[in-house]
Structure 1
């Protein structure tokens, strides 16, 4: 079985490769593609594999964008951390997925399901993607983009543009507003990452930062980046060399 992986986090991609080979030692990983552009360039000149595993949100767009340019006629299993509403869009339209962080069991089930599947017509796949994206787009338009914050005995609504960043410290999640005020959150940083959407970037395990709070990014030895904010904030936000490329692509998007 020939497989192509589309994933911009190399550590995640490497883990996926290791797990797939553990489940099915004779699997052939043809290549790992890390962006929408790279995938389009590759599939323009190379044959498609038997199966594709793909992240959904890549540094330069959504992997659905690949199918807008290239006719994909093999099954794709999406590796996603999308929320329940988004998953409903996939279920309704028959799009296969596994949840991040994935397990050996979930991968094994995905491969077993693939073995029982037949190739679908390319037009049918394209229609599935289009329908799923229409559902997600409609959801985003109807979404108030508001995060509810508990403060004493009150619930305060904050629109995402008023939030500079979320961060984790001593196992407690905080929200830091552009006004300079800080609030504790009941949501985990992972949950907030899903709610916040594309305008927020997970810099590292500790920080989730709004694009509109960033002044610039400067080199930080070795091959890391330091994020400088437009607001007063007394903690260093460092991006690893593994995430460097993805961050720069996101900032330029």
Structure 2
């Protein structure tokens, strides 16, 4: 597993790397970075690692500044002496949040969680029956048939269930559209991926577009571009 460490304390970074190698001998520490600036520069010239260990307080700012400057698709384990950033960390690809000084047991548990999540998200398309969300300080699986639609909320991918609850997810809509059951969901535009069972009615809109109404509340109107109307109506008709 290719792992990137972003930690401004040199001794801590070395200890973390040694502990990771002890727990996971196949780990490949691709780089150790100490600042927001160096991390942004690294991501500009390297492929995404498989996992990132990231301290929150860095030499030139907080780690969340990195997310403002570059796209990070890899899961992140946050390592910090502070717990006030827990919520923000899970909105930023966080899969775990361990407090310093961390132990071999807490680190091993975090790595085990990453492997479990990787296995879960790598499930075959036909077997994708649920999505993992983080709520109430725990991970919960939401059955696919409970999901009315996927959408972008506050610039982050999220799901809305048929009972109106919303949860953030860590996968992009582009990726989600490839793993949901074939034919059950349709990408109506860049913001929405809707479940057939959630569609209430469709009405003509101006300029040959369509206005899609769902059975559950939505934050915005769902407007289908004229270039997509024929395929969408065929999808509806095929059901």
Normalised by the length of structure 1, the TM-score is 0.45
Which protein, 1 or 2, shows the higher relative CO under an 8 Å CA cutoff with sep ≥ 6?
Answer: 1
Normalised by the length of structure 2, the TM-score is 0.47
- Highest CA radius of gyration, 1 or 2? 2
